[in-house]
Amino acid sequence: MSETTPAPNPPGWIVNPTSAEGLNWFALRVTPQHEKAVFRELIDLAANPFCPVAARWVRLASGGKAKRKVRRQYALLATYVFIGFDDAPDFSVVDDVAAIRGFVCFDSQEREPSTIRREQIQSLMDRQARGVFDTPDWEANTQRETISYRAGDKVRVDLPGQSDQVFEVMRVRNAKHILRGLGLLGKEEITVSDPRRMELVTER
């Protein structure tokens, strides 16, 4: 397999449904950075989740060798995952997933979660299937080579042997980025010399 032809579906790759028909869809609020994990847990519970994702190309260095090109998925809607139920929904299924904080919309009269329009869910599914949200190979490389980071930026970092983690840029010194861990990483600090290992996750 060549450097530019990675496996079409790497381990852990999310495969979303392509049709919203036949189900009533609800929005779930989840813990930040746990969208894909929630999707997988709901699949294990035989539920019908939908986690919109965007695919991007990144280059990773390994042991000083030539950088290899890989595809990564990122949740498109931070802190949101959708779930579909039939006409007799069992809302209790979400209670078994710790990272789910609850339903987003409620019917004030029925005091139950309210649905998202099926047409909206189908539109998201269709656009994702067409690759509308994905970053082209050449564009990803250009962005990684030209972007500069500054103190206060929130960035996602490729860490060997770990899932992508989010850090805050504390300072930049001699082209080295001093980062502080967020969330589960507490106050851990790391230094990143190659900015192409980082991706901006906050708007300026």
CATH of 24-129, one of 3.40.50.150, 3.30.70.940, 3.90.1150.10, 1.10.287.470: 3.30.70.940
- The DSSP letter of residue 115 is P
**114-127 per-position pLDDT tens digit:** 999 999 999 999 98
Q: Domain 147-200 is in which class?
A: mainly beta
The token pair at 152 is 């206060």
- Tokens 């329009």 label which residue? 117
**140-183 per-position pLDDT tens digit:** 454 444 467 788 888 877 665 555 678 888 888 777 777 877 65
Q: DSSP assignment of 119-144, as one string?
A: HHHHHHHHHHHTTTTSPPHHHHHHHH
Contacts of 37 (CB under 8 A, 6+ apart): 99
| pLDDT at 5 exceeding the cut of 50 | no
Share of residues in the chain with pLDDT > 90 (%): 35
| pLDDT at 190 exceeding the cut of 60 | yes
**Taking the domains of the chain in order of start, what are their residue ranges?**
24-129, 147-200
